[in-house]
Amino acid sequence: MQATVYYWRDADANFLAQERWCLGFEKNGTKWFIDHDLSDGKGSYEGGVFDLQWIDERRVRIFRRIDDRDANIVFDLERNSYSLDSAYVRTPNPQPFFPGHGFDIVLSAKNNGYPSSLKDTLRCMNWQMSMEQCSTALSTMQPITGEDWHHLFEHLPCQVIGTIDQANAEFYFNMNAGSWASITDSFTTQYFGDLSGQSKALFLTSAWDPSRDK
């Protein structure tokens, strides 16, 4: 049996509209999902769902963040119910992520459902990044503010997600095809962007340079 996180939002909704993550399963060609919003209605800004892990043959752990805190839950297939996961608690990272320092990346999935004003997801079909390419791009990115992230970069409906290990600390990352990445731990989210265009060949779009429009 395979477990999957399904993501959706209204096609005509704006960027801040309601979005949902739901847990789904597939077995012998049959697919189904559990009608429960994993983000508790918080959406991408106050929460998020990052990964799945089978605990045993009947229980799935969902790694998620609500209000900038870990809020992992467990779904029990036998009981058909969710419960808060008190058995898996990550300690705070001793330091933030530094792109210029050594780190290891593990990719977990390619996701074409990131919230975007772009309705055409066909351009994402052939876009992909390897672990080596993610490492190369991230190591040359610069820290960006939330305002820069919102105004200078396209938020495309295609990204790769995974985990980063650096100095015995674990982070979740999203590498968006719009030349930016978000790095998250239990307490904060950092944003990085390819402002210099050093890795633009790896992405679908580059950062906007306001000076070009003057």
Write out pLDDT tens, residues 126-135: 888 999 999 9
Look at residue 15 in the predicted model and tell me its pLDDT: 47
| Residue written as token pair 């390419």 | 133
Q: Which two tokens stand for residue 197?
A: 């265009």
Task: Give Dmax over CA atoms of the chain in angstroms.
Answer: 62
Residue 50: predicted pLDDT: 73
Residue 200 confidence (pLDDT) = 92
Question: What are the backbone dihedrals phi and psi of residue 105, each rounded to the nearest 5 degrees, phi first?
Answer: -115, 140
Question: Is the whole model's pTM more than 0.75, yes or no?
Answer: no
Q: Do residues 189 and 182 make contact, with C-beta atoms less than 8 angstroms apart?
A: yes
DSSP 8-state secondary structure symbol assigned to residue 123: G
> If DSSP codes are grouped into helix, strand and coil, which group holds residue 75?
strand
More confident residue, 208 or 203: 203
List, for residues 140-194, the tens digit of each pLDDT value.
899 998 888 888 998 888 888 888 988 888 888 889 999 999 888 766 788 999 9
- Strand 59-66, strand 69-70: pairing: antiparallel
Average pLDDT over residues 90-108: 78
Phi (first) and psi of residue 166, to 5 degrees: -145, 120
| Tokens 């990964």 belong to residue | 51
3-class SS at 180?
strand
What is the rounded CA–CA span in Å between residue 192 and residue 142? 5
CB atoms within 10 A of CB 131: 13
> CA 86, 171, 163, 23 torsion: positive or negative?
positive
Identity of the residue numbered 168 = N
Lowest mean per-residue pLDDT among 9-13, 35-39, 94-98, 108-112: 9-13
pLDDT tens per residue, range 20-67: 788 999 999 899 989 888 888 776 656 677 778 898 889 998 888 777
178, 58 Cβ separation under 8 angstroms: no
Query: What is the full DSSP assignment across 6-23?
Result: EEEE-TT--TTS-EEEEE
Helix boundaries (H) for 10-62: 43-46
Q: Whole-angstrom Cα distance, residue 180 to residue 161?
A: 12
The residue ranges of every structural domain in the chain are 2-84, 104-208
> Rounded to whole angstroms, how far apart are CA atoms 139 and 122?
28
Give the pLDDT confidence of 64-87 residue by residue, as tens digits.
877 767 788 999 999 899 998 876
